[in-house]
Amino acid sequence: MDDSHLHWLAFHLLFHGQSPAARRVLERFGSAGEVFRASAAELDGLRLDKDLVRDIAGRGPLDRAGRELEKIRQKGYTLLTIEDPGYPGHLREIFDPPFALYCRGRTDALRNPAVAVVGSRRPSPYGRAVAERLAGDLASRDCVVVSGLALGIDACAHWGALRHGRTVAVLGSGLDVMYPGENSGLADKIAEQGVVLSEFPLGTAPHAMNFPVRNRIISGLSLALVVVEAAERSGSLISARLALSQDREVMAVPGNATSPLSRGSNGLIKEGAKIVESWEDVAGELPSPWREIFLAQKEEKMDNKPALSREERTLLDALAVDEVRHIDDLAEGSAFSVSELLALLLGLELKGAVVQHPGKKFQRRI
């Protein structure tokens, strides 16, 4: 990390992200390095707080940034500043891009075309299945799936993408403060194949106000945003509005008309969002050349589906992606005993074809 990283991180920590004051300063001096070489007299006329002027003219921000850089090095993280060649280009184009990104994992994942998949923290079995399959289909075609590592749809999208490709998780806390804790194992997996990132300084707690701010990065990294399930006042709708303000495509998966979980996503469709039923629907709305690149790929690139026995296929056909079934329900009228069903279901689960829920309930995954 060079002086440029030190200067941009100091600027990032000083202004806490984009602000009118930060933009005025950059317009006047051109770069973070020039800002910290300026004298107090040169900062006059920019309508800055006197304490801020004194801080910029002193060594305080640079010393704080130096200590933060040392922590980043010790933890093995990567810092990307807005001037770095590896900084994601689509994010740089938004109105208020972060000046710095803390990254854990493979930052080259940020160069691939990306689609955001977001939704409810308490989804239905239908929403879980759709998010996982849609994310897997996109990831298998070299599209990075972006989401927020939250419980529910976000986690399903990350897991689905990891099965076939890469994913990016954007945190609403410091990179070293894993939230929610239940997804710490998922974050480890993401860092192996993709990247976990945050704009918040190390040690930042997951304050509620951080998540709407974080959402602009999720949409800003992406060519389009897909809402799978969302209630009327869901944070996913905030992401959708941010995506629209960034000139991104907004799409939604239609849901049950009587379900509160579908009111937000169905409302987006009423307002003109593209209906998504498959990865092709997403690809068809992307800007050129990505639309043509994705649609030119074969329908079945995922030819690595597991081979199933006749008994496994029969049982899989009795399951659905949009509902869960109890083992007793499956056994009723079946030619298999409960013990045989459990053995078959275990095999299907190991092959990634079935997911088991608490209480011996099962759902089709593919």
321-363 pLDDT tens trace? 777 889 988 888 788 888 889 889 988 888 878 888 888 888 8
Report the pLDDT value the prediction gives residue 303, as an integer from 0 to 100.
Answer: 47
The dihedrals phi and psi of 225, each to the nearest 5 degrees, come to -130, 130
Q: Give the count of beta carbons closer than 10 Å to the beta carbon of residue 279.
A: 24
Cβ partners under 8 Å of residue 366, min gap 6: 133, 305, 352, 353
pTM of the entire structure? Answer: 0.83
* Number of alpha helices (DSSP H) and beta strands (DSSP E) in the chain: 18, 12
Whether 120 shows a pLDDT value over 80: the answer reads yes
Highest average pLDDT, of 5-14, 286-295, 317-326, comes from: 5-14
- Give the separation between CA 20 and CA 113, rounded to whole angstroms: 30
Weakest mean pLDDT among 19-28, 99-108, 265-274: 19-28
- Work out the pLDDT band at 302, boundaries 50, 70, 90: very low
Q: Give the count of beta carbons closer than 10 Å to the beta carbon of residue 353.
A: 20
- Give the separation between CA 12 and CA 345, rounded to whole angstroms: 51
Whether 281 shows a pLDDT value over 60: the answer reads yes
Q: How many whole angstroms from its chain centre is CA 180? A: 14
Q: What is the pLDDT of residues 28-66, one digit of tens each?
A: 999 999 999 988 888 887 888 888 888 888 888 999 999
- Give the separation between CA 234 and CA 49, rounded to whole angstroms: 37
Mean pLDDT confidence for 192-204 = 97
Q: How many whole angstroms from its chain centre is CA 229? A: 15
Q: What is the CA radius of gyration of the chain?
A: 23
Preceding amide of 180 cis, omega within 30: yes
Cβ partners under 8 Å of residue 10, min gap 6: 32, 36, 61, 62, 64, 65
Highest average pLDDT, of 15-24, 206-215, 307-316, comes from: 206-215
Q: How many whole angstroms from its chain centre is CA 210? A: 15
- Reduce the DSSP state of residue 145 to 3 states and report it: strand
Weakest mean pLDDT among 84-88, 214-218, 230-234, 250-254: 230-234
By percentage, how much of the chain surpasses pLDDT 90?
A: 64
Please answer whether residues 227 and 130 qualify as being in contact, where contact means their C-beta atoms are separated by less than 8 angstroms.
no
Please answer whether residues 351 and 309 qualify as being in contact, where contact means their C-beta atoms are separated by less than 8 angstroms.
no
Average pLDDT, the chain: 91
Report the pLDDT value the prediction gives residue 1, as an integer from 0 to 100.
Answer: 54
- Work out the pLDDT band at 232, boundaries 50, 70, 90: confident
Exposure pattern of 163-191 as b/e (b: 16+ CB <10 Å)?
bbbbbbbbbbbbbbbbbeeebeebbebbb
Please answer whether residues 146 and 117 qualify as being in contact, where contact means their C-beta atoms are separated by less than 8 angstroms.
yes
Report the pLDDT value the prediction gives residue 298, as an integer from 0 to 100.
Answer: 54
- Give the separation between CA 328 and CA 330, rounded to whole angstroms: 5
Report the pLDDT value the prediction gives residue 366, as an integer from 0 to 100.
Answer: 61
- Reduce the DSSP state of residue 162 to 3 states and report it: helix
Mean pLDDT confidence for 243-253 = 96
> Exposed/middle/buried for 194, CB within 10 Å: 0-12, 13-18, 19+?
buried
In sequence order, which ranges of 172-295 are alpha helices (DSSP H)?
184-193, 210-220, 235-245, 263-270, 279-283, 290-295
